């Protein structure tokens, strides 16, 4: 049992009890207005009291019973809607524990759902991703995974590996059977098709990282160019300090900006200059590290000359595409707004907001130019766990292919690699007995889910 809602002040809290004894335990502390039993899956007014003192009242709430197997976990679940805040949910929890329940581990409800066959492991992870989603892109990816897109793709991959195993078994059972080059060629064909499908999935890794963490967009340029002001203007609130003193920003600050198709992680950095004092120098070193890992750099400067110099300097520190931002355009008269056309340069003003949309468009184009546009229905590899398992399966299959095409080893020996590849996929989908995998996955969940 656990409180399924976030702690703190709130209108309601949901307390969930799951398991074969859930109803028996709750009967000891929950009194529905019209008495037990209540209708399945119907919220019913109730009073909650301590097991030793049935006349007492801890709260007045709602009870809903989801009898097994038609519940989230596949077990009987009793859900109590009680008042939120810190005292009431804790008191209800204590009363239920007193009546015989045990507090749940993080993610234990979802783990039980997986163990009871209500969800596969990938869909369970998608629920975790949905809860953790901080952007539209992360939300979209989680929903897609929850719909089973990745599960289906992996199931067909696994079928491909099993086909190879079957062909190898045929070769083992009927060695030397001369049916032409059928098994050998067919094995190679099946292997190549599976390798290509694995590569296609692995290629989604960088895009999925963008969806979860945002594209890193580093604002860089000389001191006082207006970098911090630009970041504040882009996010629409004052997040970083701005002042007329050059060298104001000493440490990099990153802010996530909701944007389509990917969120943007805007990073404000210390102005780049050679004659910086020691502390500023440290800030510049941090700027350099950010520049090295940027997806896109926005070079900021007030004049065309200093922008050219900034872009040249940034080009030596970062391999990322650079978008130029000619800042403080509100201070410049129209006739002075002449721009060189050799790179994307956007005139902007943090003061009046001019050019901000155009700047974001250029940044988005630069991100897409490096990552490409993922097909909307391509399942994404969203977690390090997925990537590691797919890479393992790929490595085993590639090793098998090499041995098989060289023809040096008997089929049963080469087949060990195919078995390993299939195990890696089983572990990924969660179809084998993988308790340690389950423990790892669910330990990152919140309690009550």
Ligand X SMILES: Nc1nc2c(ncn2[C@@H]2O[C@H](COP(=O)(O)OP(=O)(O)OP(=O)(O)O)[C@@H](O)[C@H]2O)c(=O)[nH]1
Part in contact with ligand X (CB under 6 A); list of ranges 20-28, 30-38, 218-226, 389-397: 218-226
**297 touches 314 (CB < 8 A):** yes
260 by Cβ neighbours in 10 Å (0-12 / 13-18 / 19+) ranks as exposed
- Shortest CA distance to 298 belongs to which of 246, 251, 358, 247? 358
> Least CB distance from residue 359 to ligand X, whole Å?
12
DSSP notation for 210-255: HHHH-EEEEEE-STTSSHHHHHHHHHTS--S---SSTT---S-EEE
93 makes contact, choosing from Mg ion, ligand X, none, with CB < 5 to 8 Å by partner type, with none
Task: Note the residue count of the chain.
Answer: 449
- Provide the minimum distance between the beta carbon of 106 and ligand X in the complex, in angstroms, as a whole number: 41
* Residue 133: strand, helix, or coil: coil
Interface with ligand X includes 249 (CB under 6 A)? yes
- Which CB sits closer to Mg ion, 30 or 270? 270
Binding of Mg ion by 327 (CB under 5 A): no
Contacts 24+ apart (CB under 8 A), 192-198: 192/401, 193/160, 194/157, 194/160, 194/161, 194/164, 194/397, 195/394, 195/397, 195/398, 195/401, 197/153, 197/156, 197/157, 197/160, 198/157, 198/390, 198/393, 198/394, 198/397
For residues 294 and 314, is the Cβ–Cβ distance under 8 A?
no
Specify the residue, 306 or 370, whose C-beta has the smaller distance to ligand X: 306
CB of 268 to Mg ion, least distance (A): 6
Residue closest to Mg ion (Cβ): 249
Query: Which option in Mg ion, ligand X, none does residue 100 bind, with CB closer than 5 to 8 A by kind?
Result: none
The interface with Mg ion within residues 215-244 (CB under 5 A) comprises 228
Contact between 225 and ligand X by CB under 6 A: the answer reads: yes
Shorter beta-carbon distance to Mg ion: residue 145 or 249: 249
Between residues 179 and 237, which has the closer beta carbon with respect to Mg ion? 237
Residue 395 interaction partner, one of Mg ion, ligand X, none, beta carbon < 5-8 Å per kind: none
In the set 243, 337, 405, 444, which binds ligand X (CB under 6 A)? 243
The one among 89, 128, 263, 271 contacting ligand X by CB under 6 A:
271
Q: Which does 247 bind (CB under 5 to 8 A by kind): ligand X, Mg ion, none?
A: ligand X
Query: CA–CA separation, 227 vs 350, rounded Å?
Result: 9
Site for ligand X contains 248 (CB under 6 A): yes
Q: Which of 330, 309, 341, 318 is nearest to 221 (CA)?
A: 309
Q: Give the residue, chosen from 105, 116, 248, 306, that forms a contact with Mg ion under the rule CB under 5 A.
A: 248
Comparing CB distances to ligand X, the nearer of 102 and 273 is 273
**Residues with Cβ < 8 Å from 117, sequence gap 6 or more?**
74
Q: Does position 330 bind ligand X by CB under 6 A?
A: yes
Give me the residues that bind ligand X (CB under 6 A), please: 223-229, 242-244, 246-249, 270-271, 327-328, 330-331, 349-351
């Amino acid at each position: 049992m656990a409180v399924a809602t976030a702690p703190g002040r709130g209108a309601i809290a949901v307390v969930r009890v799951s398991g074969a004894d859930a109803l028996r335990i709750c009967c000891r502390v929950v009194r529905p207005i019209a008495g037990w039993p209540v209708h399945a899956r119907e919220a019913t007014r109730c009073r909650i009291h301590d097991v030793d003192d049935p006349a007492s009242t801890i709260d007045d709430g709602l009870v809903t019973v989801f009898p097994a197997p038609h519940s989230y976990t596949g077990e009987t679940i009793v859900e109590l809607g009680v008042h939120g805040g810190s005292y009431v949910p804790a008191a209800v929890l204590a009363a239920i524990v007193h009546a015989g329940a045990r507090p749940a581990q993080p993610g234990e409800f979802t783990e039980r759902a997986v163990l009871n066959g209500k969800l596969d492991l990938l869909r369970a992870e998608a629920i975790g991703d949905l809860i953790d989603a901080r952007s539209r892109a992360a939300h979209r990816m989680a929903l897609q995974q929850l719909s089973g897109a990745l599960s289906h793709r992996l199931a067909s991959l696994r079928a491909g590996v099993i086909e190879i195993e079957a062909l190898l078994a045929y070769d083992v059972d009927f060695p030397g059977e001369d049916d032409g080059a059928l098994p050998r060629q067919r094995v190679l064909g099946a292997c190549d098709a599976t390798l290509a499908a694995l590569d296609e999935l692995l290629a989604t890794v960088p895009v999925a990282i963008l969806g979860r963490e945002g594209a890193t967009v580093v604002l860089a340029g000389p001191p006082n160019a207006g970098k911090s002001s630009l970041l504040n203007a882009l996010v629409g609130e004052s997040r970083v300090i701005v002042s007329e003193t050059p060298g104001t920003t000493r440490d990099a600050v990153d802010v996530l900006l909701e944007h389509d198709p990917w969120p943007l992680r805007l990073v404000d950095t210390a102005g780049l200059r050679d004659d910086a004092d020691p502390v500023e120098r440290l800030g510049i070193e941090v700027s350099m590290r950010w520049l090295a890992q940027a997806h896109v750099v926005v070079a900021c400067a007030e004049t065309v000359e200093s922008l050219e110099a900034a872009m040249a300097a940034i080009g030596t520190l970062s391999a990322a595409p650079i978008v130029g931002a000619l800042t403080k355009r509100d201070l410049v008269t129209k006739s002075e707004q002449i721009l060189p056309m050799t790179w994307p340069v956007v005139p902007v003003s943090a003061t009046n907001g001019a050019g901000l949309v155009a700047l974001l468009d250029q940044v988005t184009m630069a991100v897409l130019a490096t990552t490409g546009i993922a097909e909307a229905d391509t399942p994404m590899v969203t977690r390090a766990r997925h990537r590691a398992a797919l890479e393992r399966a790929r490595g085993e299959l590639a090793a098998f292919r090499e041995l098989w095409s060289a023809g040096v080893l008997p089929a049963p020996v080469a087949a060990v690699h195919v078995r390993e590849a299939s195990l890696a996929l089983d572990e990924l989908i969660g179809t084998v007995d993988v308790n340690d995998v389950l423990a790892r996955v669910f330990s990152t969940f919140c309690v009550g889910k």
